Amino acid sequence: MKGIKNLSQIITLEGVHKKGGRRPLRGDLCIIENGSIVFDEDKILWVGSQKNIPKEYENIPFIDGSGHILTPEVVDSHTHLVFGGNRAREYGMRLDGADYQEIANAGGGILSSMKMTNEASFNELFESAKERIKKIHSYGVGTIEIKSGYGLNIEKEIECSRVIKKLKEFFSPQIQIFSTFMPAHAIPKTWSSPQKYMEDVVYPATEQAAKEKLFDAIDIFHEEGYFGSKITKEYLEWCQSKDFAIKMHVDEFNDNGGAEMAHNYKALSADHLLCVGKRGIKALSKSDTIATILPGTGFFLGKNQAPAKELIEQGAKLSIASDYNPGSCHCDNLILIASLAAPQLKLNLAEVWTGITYNAAASLGLTKQGVLVKGFRPRFSLFRAKIIDEITYNWGHNLANSDLLAQAFS
Ligand code: NIG
Ligand code: FE
């Protein structure tokens, strides 16, 4: 049993939890001033004001959290951080005027990361991803979703997922890793049709990965020129029949009905949503499928953003993730992305913090965390700040104190 005391604020999100993550307002953060928390390995035992610590906990070992804020653990629920090489040159081309699809047509884009990933060894992929994860953790992020999807053949997709499995074991329990299998990310030019690629790579690779228990969910890039509606539905039906959890990339370049599809197939999340239309917003408004926006991608590609406010107002559960990847968003810092997104997407602080904690965890099926209330899992983030507003106000500054957090669990 352990505790942290003298915390400037504890951001419990109790009200957010009561609302199931929909339409959060500042009051729903349910902030405790001058707080303390008591927990064991698996759960929170007590949370409250410093002066009310129950007698039974007075003599347990406490870490001094003076000058710090405790929040539910920040979760980055969408990354593609296992990749070889980089795409800096492509970024330069884009600034010179080429757009994402023109770059893809010229052999750049996802397929150039495929080439560089296939040239990298297991160890190179493991070591580079390990360093990326350490960096992400240093910003206060404790749970990270990682997708395969740059192998794009059976062997390399399996290898990348084994890399993710090894990362999971290496960082557990301090950092929790969620593995998503995504051979349906792009179609290498050597395949005559998407259908053939599905038959020869995606289905057999998914079957093999399932046998090895390499993933927690599957993902597919539902988009014209990538995986169209018919192919996507067939794959999702097959995945459902096998009880695989589903995540989806939807409505990024066009409104293709992807959000509706994600809802219909009970996906954990529908991600991107830059072009989601009225019908998609309506489908997500009463759905348990989390609407995950990736504002860093909009910034980096110079595109419009997803209609985040409208999604929230209609009742969708909104989450914010980084989409960290070598092409469309080479940014590992979710807190920075949240800082930039809040004013641009007109999000209040409760919406931002719900988006990077409670709803982000839910988009990975992690419903026992994301709220600091007795009985929930003790997964937290700690920041050097006096009030919650300071964290994203200091954009580009890293206020997380992961070392102190590690002490609390040592
Ligand atoms: O989520 N949209 C598809 N996939 C990635 C892009 C990855 C890349 O460009 O390498 C994304 O943005
Ligand atoms: Fe993505």
CB distance 409 to 174 below 8 Å: yes
335 and 214, same structural domain? yes
pTM: 0.97
Nearest CA to ligand 1 atom 9: 327
Distance from the alpha carbon of residue 294 to the mean position of ligand 2, in angstroms:
8
User: What pLDDT is attached to residue 93?
Assistant: 87
CA pair distance 179, 165, nearest whole angstrom? 7
d(CA 393, CA 285): 29
- Specify whether 54 is located in the same domain as 152: no
Q: Are residues 245 and 378 in the same domain?
A: no
* Rounded distance between C-alpha atoms, residue 99 and residue 296, angstroms: 16
Locate 272 and state its tokens.
């991107």
Q: Which atom of ligand 1 is nearest to the CA of 83?
A: 10
Ligand 2 (single-atom ion) residues, CB below 5 Å: 323
Q: Nearest residue CA, atom 6 of ligand 1?
A: 328
Are 46 and 179 found together in one domain? no
Judgement on whether residues 78 and 68 belong to the same structural domain of the protein: no
Q: State in Å: Cα 327 to ligand 1 middle.
A: 7
Residue ranges lining ligand 1, Cβ < 6 Å: 80, 109-110, 113, 221, 249, 252, 297, 323, 325-328
Same domain flag for 54 and 105: no
Give me the residues paired with residue 382 across strands.
70
Q: Which of 77, 78, 79, 80 to mutate for ligand 1's pocket (most ligand atoms within 8 Å of CB)?
A: 80
324-358 burial, b for 16+ CB within 10 Å, e for fewer?
bbbbbbebbbbbbbbbbbbeebebebbbbbbbbbb
Domain that holds residue 9: 2-72+369-408
Q: Are 320 and 239 in the same domain? A: yes
Domain match, 313 and 173 both: yes
What is the tally of structural domains in the chain? 2
Say if residue 64 is in the same domain as residue 92: no
- 244 and 376 in a common domain: no
Give the CATH number of the domain where residue 174 resides.
3.20.20.140
Question: What confidence score (pLDDT) does residue 101 get?
Answer: 76
d(CA 388, CA 10): 9
Residues 48, 145 within the same domain: no
Provide the CB-side half-sphere exposure for 221 (13 A, CA).
Answer: 21
191 lies in the same domain as 64: no
d(CA 116, CA 280): 35
Q: Which helix (H) or strand (E) segment is 5 a member of?
A: strand 2-11
Look at ligand 1, atom 5, and give the residue with the nearest C-alpha: 328
Domain boundary pick from 340, 362, 384: 362
- Identify whether the C-beta of residue 319 lies closer than 8 Å to the C-beta of residue 360: yes
Ligand 1 centroid from CA 241, angstroms: 27
CA atoms within 13 A on the CB side of 108: 19
Each residue's pLDDT tens digit in the chain (410 positions)? Answer: 999 999 999 999 999 999 999 999 999 999 999 999 999 999 999 999 999 999 999 999 999 999 999 999 999 999 999 999 999 989 998 999 988 778 877 778 999 999 999 999 999 999 999 999 999 999 999 999 999 999 999 999 999 999 999 999 999 999 999 999 999 999 999 998 999 999 999 999 999 999 999 999 999 999 988 999 999 999 999 999 999 999 999 999 999 999 999 999 999 999 999 999 999 999 999 999 999 999 999 999 998 999 999 999 999 999 999 999 999 999 999 999 999 999 999 999 999 999 999 999 999 999 999 999 999 999 999 999 999 999 999 999 999 999 999 998 88
Q: Name the pairing type of β-strands 380-384 and 318-320.
A: unpaired
Who's near 256: CB < 8 A, 6+ residues apart?
222, 223, 224, 229, 250
Give nearest CA residue, ligand 1 atom 3.
221
Query: The domain that contains 17 carries what CATH number?
Result: 2.30.40.10
Q: Which residue's CA lies nearest to atom 8 of ligand 1?
A: 327
